[in-house]
Amino acid sequence: MIPVEAAVAVLVPAAGGGVGQAAALTPPGPPSWPEREVTRLAGPERDVTGLVEPEREVTGLARPEAVASGPVVGGPVAGGPVAGGPAWAECGDGLRCATLSVPADWARPREARTVVELAMLPAQDPARRLGALVVNTGSASVVREVRQRPDTVGELARWFDVVLVEARGAGERGSAGACPGARPDPARLLFAAGRRAWRAFARDNAAYDRGCRAALGPAYAGLTSWQVAHDLDAVRAALGEPRLRYLGNGYGSVYGQAYLELFPGRAGRMYLEGLPDHTGTGLEGRLLAHARAQERQLGYFRDWCRTRPGCPLGHADAIRVFDGLLRRAPLRAGADGRTVSGREIAAAVWAGLAPARWPALAHALSRARTGDAAGLAAMTPADQAASTPAPTPAPAPGTPAAPPMPVPVPVRVFGRGEAASGPGRGAAGGEALPGPVRVLESGEAASGPAGASGRGEAVSGPVRVPGRGEAASGSVRGAAGGEEGTVEGVRWCHDFGLVVPGYRWFLGVEARLRKVAPRVGWLSGRVEAARCLGAARSPGWPPHPVAAGLRTPSALVGMGRLDSRTPSAAWAAGQLPGARVLWHGDGQGAYLAQGVSRLRATCLRRKVHDYLVNGVLPKPGTFCQGELTG
């Protein structure tokens, strides 16, 4: 068996400067998770690797050099492209940069134009390069991310010219312009009491969206993954590649999914990590899925702490510690008399469930158990002061108020792995979440279990490439708000925004979320529902079923057990014909994070490289152990 690390050494240059076929690798061994379960989630297995369809011209789409010129949106950018391909120029850090002129709106290709920013990390051995691999990491600027952390994708240059493509409005130069200020943080609604606060957030969100529309002008219409998929096809043509070979992480996987739908005959091998479900799941299903995923994350955190030497909680059950803190709330937070409420405690734990924050969360819970909740106060989402909240204006007559913070009381503890949904056991092989639980209001006595279920999706927003241990969702701002001036939140609403019927409707949904995810998961519903509250969803490319009969190459979809941001990635992969799910024990962004940590011989990276280089898909049900939370 030839390891993928040595695959580049056996590639034989073909006549005319091409590259011959590499030796195929022996498929990996049996999966660690139950194969039948993963196969069911991933959909029917069909190996159509190397599927070739005749080149087809999509109606209304012209190659970039053939489209009539128009005014450039976003102002002039130096170093524009020339006919025949991008005009690459050295731009530091071993990169070559260029821009590509494209229509601002591909539905009107002869009108205004904009530019797509590109950067290339050239192949280490040009004589043996396999072509171009296009990459979008899902961050606010792919190029800036790779400059700061070149090991995210640097190893891929052993085989490919790694071409970094910025999405519309992203990039170091912000060629499409910038939105004014930062998008209102949906975490505000974690503490909102009543319809008045709900409406105030919607007004702020609408004002921000109007400001973006005014600042961006015609470029605003380009903020959809439909437009970016067309940009990717223009990049493919400009690079002279017959098919698009692509790696997309986080929101970058949305662009890859769109490309597979729109240009199936031009799609090559694709690795998509953290794939959102763009197949039409309703809002309530999306909220339920995200709530359940975040509640499971609490169980994974508990298992991690139990098995990690030196965890500040020792052998204590972190979930039972959390339950005890809620019953004792409000808690003192520091020496200045501040306190934290039960809801603030829950919000702090909710915000601390990204694996990168687990050590800090364990310390904060340990301190709170001894009487000082300052650590939890510091972890409370930033838009809420880490102290007793100021009085809220009284709601208008007849307005339903948000119910008080529930106190979840375990009725019984399930056995090992019994309650966790999805393939496999707990994060460290321990027990699942204590449950079922009864959601109790303050002072109510426990009596009997309750339960519910649902399926849906909560998609990722802009993703910061994580460092060692940072394998899942990051801050509330990163997950839902976006960096100041960026357009990612606008794009998300154009792609995934759904109508929230109203505050009263949401309270009914929230009550159901509390039954499914009574400790912390239910809080996700407020953030997810708030993302596009009051914002425009047009122009957009809303969720929809995949067209019947669609034939695409076999994409490889990475799905992390600790990825609570895209809980329906396996379902979404099952909607793409021939897609294969590669399960792993880390969170979203694991391939990139392992690169940053220079964990280059991991199971996950070997499987991804084997697929991109040789076209070898992992066996159905393959599971790679986590590497980032040890």
Q: Tokens 């949906």 identify what position?
A: 186
φ/ψ of residue 440, rounded to 5: -115, 140
Kindly state the average pLDDT of the residues 384-388.
40
CA distance 100 to 163: 13
Q: 283-313: buried (b, 16+ CB within 10 Å) or exposed (e) per residue?
A: bbbbbbbbbbbbbbbbbbbbbbbbebeebbb
Identify which of 273-287, 433-447, 610-624 has the greatest average pLDDT.
610-624
φ/ψ of residue 435, rounded to 5: 180, 175
CA distance 144 to 164: 10
Residue 28 near residue 622, CB atoms below 8 Å: yes
Kindly state the average pLDDT of the residues 313-334.
95
Peptide bond before 436: cis, by omega within 30 degrees of 0? yes
Min mean pLDDT across 10-24, 88-102, 125-139, 178-192 is at 10-24
The residue type at 384 = Q
Which CATH architecture best describes the domain 4-26+61-173+227-280+548-624?
3-Layer(aba) Sandwich (3.40)
CA distance 261 to 549: 11
Tokens for 48, please give them. Answer: 């159509």
Q: Which is nearest to 251 in space by CA: 537, 523, 103, 458?
A: 458
Quote the pLDDT of residue 67: 31
Quote the pLDDT of residue 586: 92
Q: What is the pTM of this model?
A: 0.74
Q: Where are the domains of the chain?
A: 4-26+61-173+227-280+548-624, 283-456+466-530
User: How would residue 174 be classed by pLDDT, with cut points 50, 70 and 90?
Assistant: low
**506-544 pLDDT, tens per residue?**
999 999 999 999 999 999 999 999 999 999 888 888 888
**42-57 pLDDT, tens per residue?**
332 232 223 233 233 3
Quote the pLDDT of residue 427: 36
Quote the pLDDT of residue 15: 35
**411-446 pLDDT, tens per residue?**
232 233 333 333 333 333 333 344 433 333 333 333
Kindly state the average pLDDT of the residues 172-180.
69
Residue 221 near residue 104, CB atoms below 8 Å: yes
Mean pLDDT across the chain, nearest whole number? 75
- CA end-to-end span of the chain: 29
Number of Cβ within a 10 Å radius of residue 566: 28
Residue 288 near residue 567, CB atoms below 8 Å: no
